[in-house]
Amino acid sequence: MKRSSMMCLFVLLLVYCSSVHGAPTALWVFGDSLVDNGNNNFINSIAKSNYFPYGIDFNNRLPTGRFSNGKTFVDILGELLGMSSPPPFADPSTRGGRILGGVNYASAAAGILDETGQHYMDRFPLSQQVINFESTLSELRTMMSPGDLNTHLSKSIAVMVFGSNDYINNYLMPSIYTSSINYNPQQFANLLLNHYARQLVALYSVGLRKFLLAGIGPLGCIPNQLATGQAPPGRCVDYVNQILGSFNEGLRSLVTLMNNGFNVWDRACCGVGRNQGQITCLPYQFPCLDRSKYIFWDAFHPTQAVDAILAQRAYSGPPSDCYPINVQQMAAINF
């Protein structure tokens, strides 16, 4: 496998749909550092990005807790939908009227499994993010009638971005975690999907109806994995990409039941060591100048330019990018 556009497989979970036009009422964001917009700033975690040069291309050129030089996929997707990016759940000011347009529960180092990323200390795994969402629901119930709340939730969109950490910060770290000893790749994918499905059912049971599920991108091509030296020059770590196939294929099957122009793909814009990926972006490190040509911002995360493509293709792309329908089409569905 040579160059990769870092295009995630996007799939949608749609249940009992009808085709009445409408607009999304809110964005509920669940996931990891790919979409965390500041939650880890408020917890005891070493997985933080609240320092320069993170945010160098954001509105005020200041770090926000996003693991990017600028906007994330969710920020841009919200703009395409005509919505503001939802505030981070852990911010004490995220309450009252601020929660009506949705909340971001994503947490860097989080995974589908509770133990994933535990070497980064505190984080909100998927199960805790669902609990946090339910606490938001408790507040919403004091602000609107049951009927209005059901309508509000059914017209909103939940974005789910999970799985990467369960591999790079669990399965591929046998010195810390035993998952690769206890499970072969297919068994581990099944374990992840079973946990994932239970939480999706929990979210569905409280009223959410529209889900955007992001598959795992080619982790064998990220600077962090290239920095291991396990692949020849010009190639990705193929075995890492191969073990992800079971998860992405299973995720697409789960959906059936209830995816350019960059010159620099093999190293990070901000980082240290081989492929700028052995140590991620350091405080006040000077990043690359032409960030529009880079796929990767740091050792793990895409640049704003890549997130813009991901968001656009999720919003209006064909079924090969966003299956079975795109976000623009999903937003028009009413329940």
User: Which pLDDT belongs to residue 219?
Assistant: 95
- Contact (CB, 8 A) for 329 and 268: no
Give dist(CA 82, CA 332) in Å, integer. 13
Catalytically annotated residue among 36, 166, 298, 321: 298
pTM for this predicted structure: 0.86
User: Which pLDDT belongs to residue 317?
Assistant: 86
Give dist(CA 71, CA 301) in Å, integer. 12
3-state class (DSSP) for residue 267: strand
Catalytically annotated residue among 85, 301, 307, 321: 301
The domains of the chain are located at: 10-331
CATH number corresponding to 10-331: 3.40.50
User: Which pLDDT belongs to residue 77?
Assistant: 94
Residue 33 annotated to the active site: yes
Which candidate, 192, 231, 204, places its Cα nearest to that of 114? 192
Catalytically annotated residue among 32, 33, 68, 321: 33
pLDDT along the chain (335 residues), means of 10: 34 36 84 98 98 94 96 95 96 97 98 98 98 98 96 95 97 97 95 94 90 93 92 91 94 74 86 93 93 92 91 88 89 87
Give dist(CA 34, CA 273) in Å, integer. 22
Residue 301 annotated to the active site: yes
